[in-house]
Structure 1
Amino acid sequence: MANPSTFGPLAEGSHTLDVDGITLSYHVHGTGPVCVAHPGGPGIHWNYLRSAALEQRLTMVYLEPAGTGDSGRLATHPNGYTRELYSRHLAALIDHLPPSRVHLLGHSYGGFVAQYHAIHRPDQLAGVILYESAPSTGPEFGAELQRKVGELAERYAGHPLLPSVMKTFAEFPTIADDETMVRVARGIIPAYVASYWADPSPWIDFQNATQATFISGLDEFGAPDPIDDRIALPELQVPALVVGGRFDVICGVRWAEELHKLIPGSRLLILEHSGHFGHLEEEELFAESVAEFVAASGR
């Protein structure tokens, strides 16, 4: 039998899939068990999530969520991109792929989508990797972000990068178009990378290549799409790996530990030298840990 990764929906390269009248783009790289990856934001384009080390161990299927990159937009854009919509699109993509079950990796906001999918559509998943995610957002989440930003400001007081980073954080509530979204997404990178402050040079190309689309976080009627999975997660039956970076200011160790406590039988990986991008900052450890989890939970 031919290797399924050499043809069809898992052939190396770029693909499209029509779902609910929208064309979704996805990209396949690597070899091994299939792992679908959902990027963060919402609105950050998929490329930043690529991991050469993961692709040596797994067949990575990187989805471009609706509204971003080459995927189509809703008629209600920038509204309407709810977790239910993203999960429905994931369901169609997974049904399109040869394996009956896949592993799902969600980063940051993509982690919110991944845990929603694991709660509501568990039969599609052999396992879920919640990478820099959190069980809920709201006042507690906002307060923790302010605390972590305060720690960052104290740690790097007097550093020439600090004023621009703090200005970027202040821009968060004002994002209302793609241009601002891209500027903020790039400007926040120093706060999201633990080693950036000592030597930015390895990260400049990554920073400049970051692309983003403004996604409002509101439903099609302009109402917030709330995130609070604390009641549902203790009933989760899907094997889970929770990954957090020690220096992540947005979805850090507090939330990783809370997810780990909530999800029965979950594994916890704290990347001690990483911020928000552990798949790049501690690439080998991240990839080895994810691949080990996939091998152990595959079925």
Structure 2
Amino acid sequence: MITYRVRIAHPGGPGIGWEYLRMPGLERHLAMVCVEPVGTGDSGRLAALVLYDTSPVADEQFWSAAVAAMERFVKDHVNDHPEVAGYVAALTTRLDRLDDEGTTAVLQTMMPAHLFDYWGREEEFAPARQSLRMYAAPTRGQGAPFDIRDELPGITTPALVLAGEQDFICGPRWARRRPRIS
């Protein structure tokens, strides 16, 4: 059995800060390294970074599936949680037209859709929701897509990709699409 003592965690994005990745239970047993993505926090801003919209993976099929999944989420939860009625609009908001506070508000608004049974564990998840931070600059991507998928098989360190079964945007289907890593 392989024992992993170091965990590297990379936040979602583009533009999402690392702070929500804090996991005290794991931090008691592992050295945790939470990456601060370029363009967020103190890492500095870029002139351009690729948007989901221009990523080779996030094509029309990706967005159609994400919107359809969000529509199902809203349908399933709107009676008990009327605030979810605006989630599809939030998902399709043009983030490149917002500032840091605006993108953060969109992300914090939709956070319950990212987690299974958010409202059943709201007390536990509320601090993470409040710590979410999204930076506007990385959503203004321009230029050629940043795509290093062909280089991923060169990684020899064991990797674990986690995806939530109910994740509306990057669920197991997308986790399985990652290239095979030796």
Same fold (TM over 0.5): yes
Which amino acid in 1 is paired with 2:103? M
The aligned residue for residue 100 of structure 2 is 178
- Residue 57 of structure 1 pairs with residue 45 of structure 2: no
The aligned residue for residue 135 of structure 2 is 213
2: CA distance between counterparts of 1:72 and 1:235? 29
Question: Is contact 1:45–1:68 with CA below 8 Å preserved after alignment?
Answer: yes
Q: For structure 1, list consecutive stretches of 5 or more residues without a partner in the other structure.
A: 1-31, 84-108, 110-134, 266-299
The aligned residue for residue 122 of structure 1 is none
Q: For structure 2, list consecutive stretches of 5 or more residues without a partner in the other structure.
A: none
Closer, same or farther: CA 59–204 of 1 in aligned 2, 3 Å: closer
Moved segments of 4+, more than 6 Å: none
**Which has more strand, going by share of residues?**
1
The aligned residue for residue 42 of structure 1 is 14
How many residue pairs align between the two structures? 174
**Which has more helix, going by share of residues?**
2
Kindly provide the CA deviation profile for residues 243-298 of structure 1, in whole angstroms up to 9, marking residues without a partner as x: 21111001012112333xx4166xxxxxxxxxxxxxxxxxxxxxxxxxxxxxxxxx
Report matched runs for 1:83-162 at 5 Å: 136-159=57-80, 160-162=82-84
Superposition deviation, residue 237 in structure 1: 5.4
Question: Is contact 2:162–2:175 with CA below 8 Å preserved after alignment?
Answer: yes
Task: Pick from 164, 167, 171 the counterpart of residue 245 of structure 1.
Answer: 164
1: CA distance between counterparts of 2:106 and 2:134? 9
Question: Is contact 2:95–2:103 with CA below 8 Å preserved after alignment?
Answer: no
TM-score, normalised with respect to structure 1: 0.50
1: CA distance between counterparts of 2:24 and 2:102? 30
2: CA distance between counterparts of 1:173 and 1:247? 24
SS in 1 for 2:133: coil
The aligned residue for residue 73 of structure 1 is 45
Closer, same or farther: CA 199–48 of 1 in aligned 2, 3 Å: closer
Question: Is contact 1:137–1:227 with CA below 8 Å preserved after alignment?
Answer: no
2: CA distance between counterparts of 1:67 and 1:228? 18
Question: Is contact 1:233–1:263 with CA below 8 Å preserved after alignment?
Answer: no
